[in-house]
């Protein structure tokens, strides 16, 4: 019998702090009219000092598990798609795994820029369909405000912070993730990148002086690429699922620029009402933008069980991708779970593990060294 990967939980987390276009007018040479007409963005969220990619990811994950009514101890896999990880390593996914108490889960980060959430869903769905996992948590999380050059008007008006998460679960009922397409073109890698801080340009005073730790972008070229691939990739994923464009109830595109979404709508010959759009509220939150738009569409009652959806995105790499999914919602027979209690247990567990390691080093460290 075949196994399917269903979307059974969803959650989001955005910082409280709002940065409006008017506030940006006081920071760089720009204006509200330009930003609205060129991008559709009105405001974005900015992480406070104590918020990080891992903290936003954890909050979104907890909300998604609550919806799915899935105890963290039953999560087999945590994938965090991010371009702004907490550290180069360990993976942000491992920090989330510890903070939610997913004690038997594997965890890794996935770097495919703004296409990362689609890539992550596809990877998680494959492991579920293949039988190696039953329950997976896929998170898109970013604190792009930390890598934006706040004096560069070409980029600083675009990006925002936030996180979104889906729970995927195995079932023999047909549905869930139906098809996916993942593509890349590394020849366009320098169109959107952070040149410094990796092995090619390790951090030095010079890389800092040259602003090489901030996002650099050729906006026009990325725009042209995005408008080329969005409709085409969606169509490919729809065809792969054995569906027609008319069968799709809602398209949830990467929220980078309203004009790019308009171009996708024209390419697919669909009205804008068939698209989930919230770029005006959050700007471009990269990997988080698709799950955040999905969560808001669900809350607005725009997605019902049985609906056919397309998720489509593009980003640095260059990468792009799309997937089709039949919406499921939480498995009905499960009882509500108290996530607060699980989080408390996770905190105690993490504390005890750290102390056990310290005590182990104290009592057995020397003996271990000489062995």
| 82: contact with ligand UT7 by CB under 6 A | no
**Cβ 226 to ligand UT7 shortest distance, Å:** 6
| R_g over Cα of the chain | 21
d(CA 231, CA 260): 10
Helix 53-68 to helix 339-370 angle (10° resolution) is 130
- Alpha carbon 107 to its chain centroid, in Å, reads 15
Among 3, 18, 25, 34, binds ligand UT7 (CB under 6 A): 34
| 153: contact with ligand UT7 by CB under 6 A | yes
User: Is 114 one of the annotated active-site residues of the chain?
Assistant: yes
User: Is 156 one of the annotated active-site residues of the chain?
Assistant: no
CB 258 within 8 A of CB 130: no
Among 223, 232, 243, 331, binds ligand UT7 (CB under 6 A): 223
**Cβ 328 to ligand UT7 shortest distance, Å:** 28
**Cβ 287 to ligand UT7 shortest distance, Å:** 9
| 253: contact with ligand UT7 by CB under 6 A | no
Triad 55, 192, 214: Cα angle to 5°? 55
Closest CA to 151 of 24, 340, 279: 24
d(CA 338, CA 257): 38
| 257: contact with ligand UT7 by CB under 6 A | yes
Among 17, 220, 266, 347, binds ligand UT7 (CB under 6 A): 220
Closest CA to 92 of 105, 103, 79: 79
Judged by CB, which is closer to ligand UT7: 58, or 285?
Answer: 285
Stretch of 32-40, 65-73, 103-111, 194-202 contacting ligand UT7, by CB under 6 A: 32-40
Among 91, 114, 230, 318, binds ligand UT7 (CB under 6 A): 114
| Coil, strand or helix at 252 | strand
| 323: contact with ligand UT7 by CB under 6 A | no
Closest CA to 5 of 117, 119, 136, 106: 136
| 157: contact with ligand UT7 by CB under 6 A | yes
Q: Tokens at residue 103, please?
A: 């004690």
| 280: contact with ligand UT7 by CB under 6 A | no
User: Is 284 one of the annotated active-site residues of the chain?
Assistant: yes
Q: Tokens at residue 275, please?
A: 């698209």
Among 284, 319, 326, 328, binds ligand UT7 (CB under 6 A): 284
CB 219 within 8 A of CB 154: yes
| 108: contact with ligand UT7 by CB under 6 A | no
Partners of 319 in beta bridges: 184, 315
| 250: contact with ligand UT7 by CB under 6 A | no
Judged by CB, which is closer to ligand UT7: 58, or 284?
Answer: 284
Triad 302, 127, 242: Cα angle to 5°? 50
Residues found near ligand UT7 in the complex (CB under 6 A)? 30, 34, 38-39, 114, 153-154, 157, 192, 217, 219-220, 222-223, 226, 256-257, 284, 286, 315
């Amino acid at each position: 019998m075949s196994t399917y990967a269903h979307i059974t939980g969803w959650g989001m987390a955005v910082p409280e702090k709002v940065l409006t276009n008017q506030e940006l007018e006081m920071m760089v040479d720009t204006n509200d009219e330009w930003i609205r007409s060129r991008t559709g963005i009105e405001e974005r969220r900015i992480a406070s000092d104590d918020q990080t990619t891992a903290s936003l990811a954890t909050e979104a994950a907890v909300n998604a598990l609550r919806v799915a009514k899935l105890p963290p101890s039953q999560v087999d896999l945590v994938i965090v798609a991010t371009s702004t990880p907490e550290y180069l390593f360990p993976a942000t996914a491992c920090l989330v795994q510890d903070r939610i108490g997913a004690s038997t889960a594997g965890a890794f980060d996935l770097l495919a820029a703004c296409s990362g959430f689609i890539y992550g869903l596809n990877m998680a769905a494959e492991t579920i369909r293949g039988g190696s996992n039953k329950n997976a948590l896929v998170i898109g999380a970013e604190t792009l405000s930390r890598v934006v050059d706040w004096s560069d008007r070409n980029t600083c008006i675009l990006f925002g912070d936030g996180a979104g998460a889906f729970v995927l679960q195995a079932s023999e009922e047909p549905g869930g993730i139906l098809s996916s397409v993942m593509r890349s073109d590394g020849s366009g890698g320098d169109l959107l990148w952070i040149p410094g801080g990796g092995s090619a340009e390790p951090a030095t005073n010079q890389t800092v002086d040259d602003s090489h730790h901030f996002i650099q972008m050729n906006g026009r070229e990325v725009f042209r690429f995005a408008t080329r691939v969005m409709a085409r990739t969606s169509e490919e994923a729809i065809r792969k699922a054995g569906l027609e464009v008319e069968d799709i109830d809602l398209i949830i595109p990467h929220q980078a620029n309203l004009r790019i979404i308009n171009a996708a709508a024209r390419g697919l010959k669909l009205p804008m009402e068939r698209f989930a759009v919230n770029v005006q509220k959050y700007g471009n939150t990269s990997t988080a933008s698709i799950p955040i738009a999905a969560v808001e569409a669900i809350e607005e009652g725009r997605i019902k069980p049985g609906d056919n959806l397309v998720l489509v995105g593009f980003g640095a790499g260059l990468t792009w991708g799309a997937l089709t999914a039949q919406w499921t919602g939480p498995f009905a027979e499960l009882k509500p779970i108290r996530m607060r209690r699980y989080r408390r247990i996770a905190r105690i567990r993490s504390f005890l593990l750290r102390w056990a390691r310290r005590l182990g080093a104290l009592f057995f460290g020397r003996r271990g060294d000489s062995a």
